[in-house]
């Protein structure tokens, strides 16, 4: 249930709503907008509560039930677009943020080379997997903490904020010390204990869409992060599983305007994992920007042929640089810039 306060409602009036909600056993989240305060009343029994309990309180303008299963991620709770600040880079504003780097951190030389080249090409954030969620237990599982430390070195050397995936609740705190953005992978979108733990860190987080999950399930998962008071949530469309097998996954371009309609959260797109092949990445990246994405997450490897993970979908640094140039007029056409 959403209680919208009148413009200029006083703090004691807001507090009275909060107190009333708490006395009914509800959880409360405040959105102190510039213009109006919105109070989200959360709990499994809000559906049974009559709205007039709150409508009669002084300073209350309206009380609305949120009919969707997700609450804090919804535009009903927060009308203005959220902008996330990751190490000084703003995601969700007018600038389209390109994040790029290898699927997996493999060595210091590999990471430094790619960091230098993606930065020169226009990437604002360095990606690199240190803990890899592999489909097979016999595949390379990542350099783990040594990989996170290399990311930290690259961050210092090139001044690029870094994003890396967390696959286990036990690793949240050590990784959160180093990474500017914690990535929750597609396979973990509904790992609720991981979401809760990452939510508690307050660190910026990219929540990738589960490849068999609906937009509604994705936004409801985002509520687990937001419910911990972490407002720094970025969504990432990375393709879903359909009957179509000509690309690795089917990039759901429609999820971009759908998310923009129903949620205030920024959304980026990962064309690399959706495509599965480098040749498809540029067209999908252009389409994502044209459809309104706030950023891109792209795999780049200095020598994709010898990559330990996802070489087939990785761009070379020169292909990546060419792509960024191609994206600039697309961004301009939709009133954005890179």
Question: How many Cα atoms within 13 Å fall on the side-chain side of residue 8?
Answer: 0
C-beta closer to ligand PEP: residue 129 or 304: 129
Please identify, using beta-carbon distances, which residue of 60 and 215 lies nearer to ligand PEP: 215
Q: Please report whether residue 147 would count as binding ligand PEP according to CB under 6 A.
A: no
- What 3-state class would DSSP assign to 102? coil
**Minimal distance, residue 201 CB to ligand PEP, in Å:** 19
CA distance 115 to 224: 32
Please pick, from the candidates 31, 110, 186, 201, the single residue that binds ligand PEP as defined by CB under 6 A.
186
Nearer to ligand PEP, 165 or 231 (CB): 165
C-beta of 208: minimal distance to ligand PEP in Å?
Answer: 4
Nearer to Mn ion, 96 or 105 (CB): 105
Shortest Cβ distance from residue 281 to ligand PEP (Å)?
Answer: 13
In the complex, which residues of this chain contact Mn ion (CB under 5 A)?
103, 310
User: Per rule CB under 6 A, is residue 1 in the interface with ligand PEP?
Assistant: no
Q: Which residue is nearest to Mn ion (CB)?
A: 103
Minimum Å gap between C-beta 318 and ligand PEP is: 22
In the complex, minimum distance from the CB of residue 12 to ligand PEP, in angstroms, rounded to a whole number: 46
**142 is a contact residue toward ligand PEP (CB under 6 A):** no
Q: Coil, helix or strand for 60?
A: strand
Identify the residue among 117, 119, 197, 273 touching ligand PEP (CB under 6 A). 273
DSSP 62: E
Binding track over 101-130 against ligand PEP, x by CB under 6 A:
--x-------------------------x-
Under rule CB under 6 A, residue 238 binds ligand PEP: yes
x/- site string to ligand PEP, residues 285 to 324, per CB under 6 A? ----------------------------------------
Which stretch, 184-192, 195-203, 277-285, 319-327, contacts ligand PEP (CB under 6 A)? 184-192
Q: Looking at 53-61, 109-117, 183-191, 315-323, which segment touches ligand PEP (CB under 6 A)?
A: 183-191
Encoding tokens for residue 70? 């997700």
Determine which helix (DSSP H) or strand (DSSP E) holds 15, and give its type and residue range. Answer: helix 11-23
3-state SS assignment for residue 46: helix
Q: Which residues bind ligand PEP (CB under 6 A)?
A: 103, 129, 133, 165, 185-187, 208, 238, 270, 273
């Amino acid at each position: 249930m959403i209680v919208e306060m009148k413009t200029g409602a006083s703090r004691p009036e807001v507090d009275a709503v909060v107190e009333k909600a708490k006395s009914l056993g509800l959880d409360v989240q405040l959105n102190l907008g510039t213009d109006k305060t919105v109070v989200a009343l959360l709990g499994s029994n809000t559906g049974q509560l009559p709205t007039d309990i709150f409508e009669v309180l002084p300073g209350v303008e309206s009380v609305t039930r949120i009919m969707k299963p997700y609450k804090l991620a919804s535009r009903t709770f927060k009308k203005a677009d959220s902008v996330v600040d990751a190490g000084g880079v703003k995601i969700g504003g007018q600038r389209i943020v390109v994040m790029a780097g290898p699927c997996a951190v493999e060595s210091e030389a590999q990471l430094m080379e790619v960091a230098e080249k993606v930065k020169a090409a226009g990437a604002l954030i360095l990606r690199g997997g240190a803990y890899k969620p592999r489909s097979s237990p016999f595949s390379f599982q990542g350099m783990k903490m040594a990989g996170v430390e290399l990311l930290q070195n690259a961050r210092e050397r090139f001044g690029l904020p870094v994003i890396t995936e967390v696959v286990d609740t036990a690793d949240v705190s050590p990784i959160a010390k180093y990474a500017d953005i914690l990535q929750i992978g597609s396979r973990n979108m509904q790992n609720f204990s991981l979401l809760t733990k990452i939510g508690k860190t307050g660190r910026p987080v990219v929540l990738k869409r589960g490849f068999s999950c609906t937009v509604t399930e994705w936004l409801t998962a985002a509520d687990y992060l937001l419910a911990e008071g972490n407002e720094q949530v970025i969504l990432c469309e990375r393709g879903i599983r359909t009957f179509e097998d000509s690309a690795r996954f089917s990039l759901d371009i429609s999820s971009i305007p759908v998310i923009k309609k129903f949620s205030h959260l920024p959304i980026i797109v990962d064309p690399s994992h959706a495509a599965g092949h480098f040749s498809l990445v540029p067209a999908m990246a252009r389409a994502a920007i044209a459809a309104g994405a706030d950023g891109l997450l792209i795999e780049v490897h200095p020598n994709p042929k010898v990559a330990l993970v996802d070489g087939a979908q990785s761009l070379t640094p020169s292909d990546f640089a060419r792509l960024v140039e191609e994206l600039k007029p697309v961004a301009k056409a939709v009133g954005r810039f890179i």
